[in-house]
């Protein structure tokens, strides 16, 4: 048994890497389709957007880059579908330098979306500056949050494409943050913690946070205190939102977050099995000094 | 010279700190808005200047590395070349042949770099974490003490409870493992995070007061 324990505890890391790779690849190729429920924190965020009326303006802060694309981008796409379907007008901005690429691509994808059943493009007549606006990136995150509290056009004189914002209808209807209905921050960085004191609490509007799974725990105090109306954490949260928006019916396929959940489940199960097995053999072998390896 | 290096930064920090502090307590709305607008403009300008300083510092670092032939200096060539290429792609006043007319629009050379180089590289770097975490969990996550065991059990419950498979693990009372994971996140996690948050914010207040009154001077590059 000690011999076996020694072999297991000194297992070549390439074997572990190979199993992780299989755990990711197999469910992506042949999905299991594990069912999942919608949690209250995601439901609350969804319902806030659902309660809005045609023409209402919201702020979407797309504060994520390609490194967190798998967890956050599906949320952004599902939210844009929900907004456009309801006629809610998003003011999209990003407060991190690598944010504009994915935010502009996601917006273009949704605007050019073609309904698989009718073959029509439901959002193709949407006009920038009237039905939506993409402001791009500007440095000075907290200052920008305070700035748009006083006025969007003063802080962003032009949008991402260089069009003057002063003449835009969307900013005549909602000139400053307090005239919008909520801020929806999709973030892979710590910006939601700044949005609350510098943005939404000053403007007196609700706040919804969507973030990576690893950063979700730090936003629970805001959710339980009511300072964040909704909390959508990680790929699971994004998949729940896709389910609520019914992305499968809209696009004819499960959304990317829903597709990724099986792979995530498989990897989590493997990691837990690895911990249990390693601890079992550790107990057996604990009289021996632990042979270390490279993580 | 000593005034520029020592006294001036302390005076500036004091005046800026007092100004920003006053801003929150000015009762007259027009005056408060004017002050907010003024300080916000300065914050954006300084933030942009800091970004520029960061770029210059990174370029200087890699130039020095190349000049002195330090270990791994070949990567510095790649960094500088990638920086120059992206910079030109974003700032060049004429469209690149075969790409969109606006240099940051969809279909531009800049976006081509973003979609085909930056995005896959960033996603790859982040994805590698899964492999390292799995390997590290296998090698290092041991139930050596009561605290480590509690952490290990809570971690396993949350990991399983936050993916669909957790909903398939039944518990007494009609609950499942995801309910336990939700309770951990909503109750003990929220309480601990709140305590950390209060501690951090109180420390920030203390440090801010120290900086405003010139007691804390490490930001100038020296010691207390």
Taking the C-alpha atoms of residue B104 and residue B115, their distance in angstroms, rounded to an integer, is 12
Q: Is A241 exposed, middle or buried (0-12, 13-18, 19+ CB in 10 A)?
A: buried
Per-residue pLDDT tens for A126-152? Answer: 999 999 999 999 988 999 999 999 899
Taking the C-alpha atoms of residue A98 and residue A103, their distance in angstroms, rounded to an integer, is 9
Amino acid B43: pLDDT:
86
User: What is the percent of chain A where pLDDT is above 90?
Assistant: 82
Q: Which residue blocks in chain A are alpha helix, DSSP H?
A: 2-9, 13-29, 40-50, 69-86, 100-111, 141-150, 152-155, 169-173, 192-194, 201-203, 220-224, 234-245, 247-251, 256-284
Question: Using the 8-state DSSP alphabet, how is residue A288 labeled?
Answer: S
| Angle made by CA atoms A42, B124, A135, in degrees to the nearest 5 | 55
A220 with B186: Cβ contact below 8 A: yes
Per-residue pLDDT tens for B158-196? Answer: 999 999 999 999 999 889 999 999 999 999 999 999 999
B123 with A218: Cβ contact below 8 A: no
Q: Which residues of A touch B194 (CB under 8 A)?
A: 221
Lowest mean pLDDT among A125-134, B8-17, B93-102: B93-102
Min Cα–Cα distance to chain A from B118, Å: 8
A140 with B160: Cβ contact below 8 A: no
The pTM score is 0.89
Is the minimum CB–CB distance between B136 and chain A shorter than 8 Å? yes
Between strands B175-176 and B170-171, the pairing is antiparallel
B164 with A35: Cβ contact below 8 A: yes
Query: Are the beta carbons of A18 and B129 closer than 8 angstroms?
Result: no
Q: Which residue of B has its CA nearest to A224?
A: B186
Taking the C-alpha atoms of residue B109 and residue B147, their distance in angstroms, rounded to an integer, is 53
Per-residue pLDDT tens for A236-261? Answer: 999 999 999 999 999 988 999 999 99
pLDDT value at A227 more than 90: yes
B141 with A144: Cβ contact below 8 A: no
Q: Which residues of B touch A146 (CB under 8 A)?
A: 36, 40
Amino acid A287: pLDDT:
65
SS3 content of chain B, % helix, strand, coil (to 5): 80, 0, 20
A150 with B36: Cβ contact below 8 A: yes
Point out the residue among A217, A224, A274 whose CB comes nearest to the CB of B137. A274
Question: Using the 8-state DSSP alphabet, how is residue A118 labeled?
Answer: T
């Amino acid at each position: 048994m000690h011999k076996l324990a020694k072999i297991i505890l000194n297992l070549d890391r390439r074997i572990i890497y190979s199993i992780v790779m299989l755990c990711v690849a197999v469910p992506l190729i042949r999905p299991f389709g594990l069912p999942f429920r919608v949690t209250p924190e995601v439901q609350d965020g969804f319902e806030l957007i659902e309660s809005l009326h045609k023409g209402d303006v919201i702020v979407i802060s797309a504060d994520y880059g390609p490194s967190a694309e798998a967890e956050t981008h599906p949320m952004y796409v599902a939210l844009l579908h929900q907004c456009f379907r309801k006629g809610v007008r998003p003011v999209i901005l990003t407060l991190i330098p690598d944010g504009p690429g994915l935010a502009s691509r996601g917006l273009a994808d949704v605007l050019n979306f073609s309904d698989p059943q009718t073959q029509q493009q439901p959002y193709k007549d949407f006009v920038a500056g009237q039905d939506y606006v993409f402001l791009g990136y500007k440095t000075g995150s907290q200052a920008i949050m305070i700035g748009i509290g006083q006025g969007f056009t003063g802080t962003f004189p032009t949008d991402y494409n260089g069009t003057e914002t002063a003449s835009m209808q969307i900013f005549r209807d909602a000139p400053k943050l307090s005239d919008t209905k909520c801020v929806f921050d999709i973030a892979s960085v710590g910006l939601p913690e700044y949005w609350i004191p510098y943005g939404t609490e000053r403007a007196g509007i609700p706040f919804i946070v969507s973030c990576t799974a690893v950063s979700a725990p730090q936003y629970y105090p805001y959710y339980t205190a009511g300072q964040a109306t909704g909390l959508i954490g990680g790929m699971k949260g994004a998949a729940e939102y896709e389910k609520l928006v019914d992305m499968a019916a809209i696009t004819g396929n499960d959304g990317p977050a829903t597709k990724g959940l099986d792979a995530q489940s498989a990897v989590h199960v493997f990691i837990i099995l690895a911990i249990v097995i390693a601890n079992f053999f550790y107990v057996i072998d604990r009289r021996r000094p632990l042979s270390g390896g490279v993580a | 010279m000593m005034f520029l290096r020592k006294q001036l930064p302390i005076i500036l920090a004091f005046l800026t700190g007092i100004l920003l502090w006053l801003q929150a307590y000015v009762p007259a709305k027009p005056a408060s808005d004017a002050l907010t607008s003024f300080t916000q403009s300065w914050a954006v300008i300084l933030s942009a200047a800091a970004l520029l300083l960061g770029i210059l510092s990174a370029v200087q670092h890699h130039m020095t590395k190349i000049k002195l032939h330090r270990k791994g200096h070949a990567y510095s060539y790649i960094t500088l070349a990638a920086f120059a290429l992206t910079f030109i792609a974003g700032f060049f006043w004429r469209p690149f042949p075969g790409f969109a007319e606006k240099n940051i629009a969809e279909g531009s050379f800049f976006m081509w770099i973003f979609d085909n180089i930056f995005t896959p590289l960033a996603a790859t770097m982040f994805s590698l974490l899964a492999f390292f975490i799995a390997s590290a969990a296998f090698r290092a996550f041991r139930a050596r003490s009561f605290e480590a065991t509690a952490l290990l059990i809570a971690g396993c419950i949350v990991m399983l409870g936050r993916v669909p498979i957790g909903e398939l693990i039944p518990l007494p009372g009609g609950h499942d493992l995801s309910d336990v994971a939700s309770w951990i996140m909503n109750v003990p996690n929220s309480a601990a995070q709140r305590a950390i948050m209060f501690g951090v914010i109180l420390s920030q207040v203390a440090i801010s007061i120290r900086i405003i009154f010139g007691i804390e001077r490490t930001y100038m590059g020296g010691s207390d």
